[in-house]
Amino acid sequence: MESIITIIQTRRGSSRLPDKVLMPLQGKPLFVRQAERVKAARLCGRVIVATTTDAGDDPIGEVCRKEGLDCFRGDAQDLLDRHYQAALLYPARAVIKIPSDCPLIDPAVIDTVISFYLDHPGEYDFVSNLHPATWPDGNDVEIMTFSALGRAWREANRPLEREHTTPYFWERPDEFRIGNVVMEGGVDYSMSHRFTIDYAEDYAFIRAVYDELYPSNPFFGVADILALLERRPDIYAINSGYAGVNWYRHHLDELKTVSAEQTKQL
């Protein structure tokens, strides 16, 4: 198996929900609970929390030290640079990007995407479960070769490419060998189920899911959440108004491979 690292880019600053990564879930900060879930994946390799050098993110570094999490600090605005520099510090042949707004991410989904990449050695530069997405929003997994990441770091010059780390790959299907992994059974929950956090309603939803499922099974998965929402439509309703809302909506005029049907305007 190739050497692998997984990078969770984490910061306190958020225009819509400040300090969301430090909000408590079952007694620990949200980003710590997410890191626990990522580390539960069998194939994730070494997990690094990549935060910024801003003084405001010192508490993230302190929590990482307390929790025994590897922490890298880099550029606050250029997330592609932060990702690349973290990968230089913790060398690996394959690098995974998981955003810090996915505290319900399923370890089994992470392993499914990595397994696809590993089962096709040398065939792909970039593999994700996002183009197109089918899992509930908040199960984002993107894996790239270190050499491809280095090329993106050297050549990407559009602001959205530097800020969002990976558009340089999936916007160039003629230049990179790109793979995508979808949910089994031909289902698509990407626009109907929201497991990510960007608004106060998202936090209320995620906290409710944790309170229901965590005590009996800390590493509950997508199927467990979907079953819970069938039993408890009141929990589904908490943030359902934001289902389908994502950052793509701000860049539809810049993105060639994302359509208006893949995002929702507020």
Residues with Cβ within 8 Å of residue 172, at least 6 apart in sequence: none
Domain-embedded: residue 196: no
Domain-embedded: residue 201: no
The pTM of this model reads 0.96
Give how many domains the chain has, as a whole number: 1
pLDDT tens-digit map of 140-187: 999 999 999 999 999 999 999 999 999 999 999 999 999 999 999 999
Residue 9 phi/psi, 5-degree rounding, is: -80, 120
AA letter at 197: I
Under the banding of pLDDT at 50, 70 and 90, the label for residue 4 is very high
Peptide bond just before 132 cis, omega within 30 deg: yes
pLDDT tens-digit map of 212-229: 999 999 999 999 999 999
Cα separation, 78 vs 262, whole angstroms: 25
**Residue 170, domain CATH:** 3.90.550.10
Residue 128 phi/psi, 5-degree rounding, is: -145, 180
Percent over 70 (pLDDT), the chain = 99
Query: Which domain covers residue 83, as residue numbers?
Result: 4-190
pLDDT for res 266 = 86
Under the banding of pLDDT at 50, 70 and 90, the label for residue 1 is very low
Domain-embedded: residue 258: no
Neighbour count for residue 14 (Cβ, 10 Å):
14
Average confidence score pLDDT of the chain: 96
Cα separation, 187 vs 220, whole angstroms: 20
Domain-embedded: residue 117: yes
- Does residue 196 sit in helix, strand or coil? coil
Domain-embedded: residue 254: no
Domain-embedded: residue 248: no
Closest to 235 measured CA to CA, from 212, 211, 214, 205: 205
Domain-embedded: residue 97: yes
Domain-embedded: residue 15: yes
